[in-house]
Amino acid sequence: MKSLGKIITFLIIVFSCGGLENLPDTVLINGKVWTGDENQPWAEWVTIENGRILEVGSGQPPLAAKVIDLNGQLTLPGFNDSHIHLASAGHLLLNSNLLDVNTTSGFIKQLKLTAERLPAGSWITRGDWGAYEAWSMGSEGLSRNNQYFTPHRAMIDSVTGNHPVLVTRYDRSQGLANQLALSILGIESESGLLTGRELKEAQALIPDKPYAQRLAETKRALAEIRKFGVTTVQDMSALDQMDYYQYLRDRDSLTARINFSPSRLIDYKMMIDKGWVIDWHNPAGPLPAGDEWFVFGTIKTHIDGIMGGRTARFFEPYSDNSMEMVEWRGGWREFSKDLDLFKSMIISADSAGIQLRIHAIGDEANSILLDILDTLDVANGAKDRRFRLVHAQVISDSDMPRFSGRNIIAEVQPYHVTDDMRWMEERIGYERCKGAYAFKSLNEAGSILSFGSDWPGTNASYYPINPLYGIYAAVTRQTLQGEPENGWFPEQKITLEDALRAYTYGSSFSAFEESRKGTIEPGKFADITVLDTDLFVTKPEKWLYANVVYTIVDGKIVYQQRSLVD
Ligand SMILES: [Zn+2]
């Protein structure tokens, strides 16, 4: 009996191997697949071979070596987040996050938790305590500094033990050091509170993070990314972040594709040296440099500031005070006030084949960017350059027609709507708000919507990576609590399909990657996300609680809902 069993097993192996050779690696069956492909919007099964989508169809699924039953759940092209800052996100997740902290007990609790999750000896820094407290007090409260929560080192000395601490208030006006940090830095202070020059000098003495800590932060951020079904991120971290991605890729543990964008305009020269430019002569259409996991060719810079700090550039003064017009913040600190130098560098970068993505908030800033695009067309010739307006936050009526027929990318973060609507009208007035986050108008004017999160946000608010928050915001234009009832400037709501498209195809198109990402079509990367909630039949408020069932990257499951693992 024993030997017969062996023979049968042997035959089965031979038979299976012979059969498997011709079968695709994987088939996903019983799905409600929204493909994003206009020719075949819905399907039930998808086959995968060598990390690529082989076939998409409905009805009887083909055989495959591995079968994944989707149980009728909504299946989407993997989300492509067109705007994140991964290194900062990793820091916030693993190091300290004090944005919503404004009490003694909250402060102690958060620093204790941070100390527990970091390796002994590592510094606890930043944190940005009091940010939400400041928002809740409104702009009037911003002038009542003395009422803010103020920590004391006695609160945390005992819970932070062997970790030196130098955390800061959200506006960086104060820092708090614990006893260990003070003795390392050679500073005497009873309270541990540092301000002004003393704070700056102390911060300058903090050693760079050890490699292991940066790596741990990168891994933590990637875990968050796959948990929310994001399969590509377009990252603007500092250049050395690439070392950590490379390390993980060498060990086969990178779980998202990376589109990497340096964020200092001066870096365009380095990009040319490294060949980090768009390949404009590719017979299949322009394609970024790099390979299937890392791509390059886009540079990020700024032309104005932010509305919160009244540094965003508008045609008319702010509505809530008569402060003078702000200075240009072209390229941030690099070229402030020198718009001509800024423009000339942009022309050089563009002529070398680099794609430009430029931060613009105010209506005048956006208008000037459109002028710069006109200049590029003249200086370097018209081409499908997919000029990216980062945030494209407020657009004047007269500029809307300028988006037509030029593949201009509106690189927008719809979750900002839910956050900013609380104070925006006060700051710029009702009329200008009509052109704020005007996704519908931008879509109709012919721009390409490219959605992202701006994760992890600013020193004043946390923007989650969860794409469903952004999709909810674009479709409802409401806060997470459902305010206002019909949405803020409801005429700018877009449909669920348009929002999904902007988070998949649109963001892939904005990076010249639509030939291999952004829809579920044969030949594209098998980057697929499955949700436990059908967005097409549930109310938007339910989307906020939807979970990812599977995140599939390169044909492999990189995240699986916990209940399925157990
Ligand atoms: Zn950003």
Output the 3-class SS for 426-441.
Answer: HHHHHHHHCCECCHHH
pLDDT at residue 134 in the model: 67
Q: How far is the CA of 56 from the centre of ligand 1 (A)?
A: 35
Selection from 50, 74, 77 nearest residue 64 by Cα? 50
Q: How far is the CA of 251 from the centre of ligand 1 (A)?
A: 29
Look at residue 330 and tell me whether its pLDDT is greater than 60: no
Strand order in the sheet with 556-560: 42-43, 32-34, 74-77, 528-531, 548-553, 556-560
> How far apart (Å, rounded) are the C-alpha atoms in residues 413 and 390?
9
Q: How far is the CA of 304 from the centre of ligand 1 (A)?
A: 13
pLDDT at residue 323 in the model: 57
410: β partners: 389, 449
Give the confidence band of 144 by pLDDT, cuts at 50, 70, 90.
Answer: very low
Is residue 209 within 8 A of residue 122, CB to CB? The reply is yes
Look at residue 333 and tell me whether its pLDDT is greater than 80: no
3-class SS at 541? helix
Mean pLDDT of the chain: 90
> How far apart (Å, rounded) are the C-alpha atoms in residues 166 and 172?
11
- Rounded to the nearest 10 degrees, what angle do helices 86-94 and 211-227 cross at? 100
Q: How far is the CA of 510 from the centre of ligand 1 (A)?
A: 16
Q: How far is the CA of 413 from the centre of ligand 1 (A)?
A: 9
The residue that leads in pLDDT, 531 or 121, is 531
Give the confidence band of 14 by pLDDT, cuts at 50, 70, 90.
Answer: very low
Look at residue 343 and tell me whether its pLDDT is greater than 60: yes
Q: How far is the CA of 314 from the centre of ligand 1 (A)?
A: 20
> How far apart (Å, rounded) are the C-alpha atoms in residues 553 and 52?
10
The count of C-alpha atoms lying within 13 angstroms of the C-alpha of 36, restricted to the half-sphere facing its C-beta, is 31
Look at residue 19 and tell me whether its pLDDT is greater than 70: no
3-class SS at 152? coil
Percent of the chain residues topping a pLDDT of 90:
78
pLDDT at residue 11 in the model: 40
pLDDT at residue 4 in the model: 47
pLDDT at residue 114 in the model: 94
- Rounded to the nearest 10 degrees, what angle do helices 415-433 and 467-476 cross at? 30
Average confidence (pLDDT) over 92-114: 93
pLDDT at residue 339 in the model: 84
Q: How far is the CA of 417 from the centre of ligand 1 (A)?
A: 15
Q: How far is the CA of 388 from the centre of ligand 1 (A)?
A: 13
Question: Which element (helix H / strand E) includes 253?
Answer: none
Q: How far is the CA of 29 from the centre of ligand 1 (A)?
A: 38
pLDDT at residue 336 in the model: 59
Q: How far is the CA of 83 from the centre of ligand 1 (A)?
A: 6
Residues of 148-164 as b/e, b for ≥16 C-beta within 10 angstroms?
Answer: bebbebebbeebbeebb
Give the confidence band of 332 by pLDDT, cuts at 50, 70, 90.
Answer: very low
> How far apart (Å, rounded) are the C-alpha atoms in residues 500 and 468?
9
> How far apart (Å, rounded) are the C-alpha atoms in residues 297 and 275?
8
Do the strands 26-29 and 45-49 form a parallel or antiparallel pair, or are they unpaired? antiparallel
The residue that leads in pLDDT, 304 or 548, is 548
Q: How far is the CA of 235 from the centre of ligand 1 (A)?
A: 9
Q: DSSP secondary-structure letter at 166?
A: E
The residue that leads in pLDDT, 549 or 428, is 549
The residue that leads in pLDDT, 174 or 328, is 174
Q: How far is the CA of 50 from the centre of ligand 1 (A)?
A: 34
What number of helices (H) and strands (E) belong to the chain?
A: 19, 25
Q: How far is the CA of 156 from the centre of ligand 1 (A)?
A: 32
The residue that leads in pLDDT, 62 or 458, is 62
pLDDT at residue 329 in the model: 57
Cis peptide bond N-terminal to 283, omega within 30: no
76-90, 193-207, 320-334: least confidently modelled range: 320-334
> How far apart (Å, rounded) are the C-alpha atoms in residues 199 and 491?
47
Look at residue 462 and tell me whether its pLDDT is greater than 80: yes
Which are the contacts of 208, defined by CB distance < 8 A and separation ≥ 6? none
Average confidence (pLDDT) over 160-187: 94
Torsion angles phi and psi, residue 178, rounded to 5: -90, 180
- Which residues lie near ion ligand 1 (Cβ < 5 Å)? 454
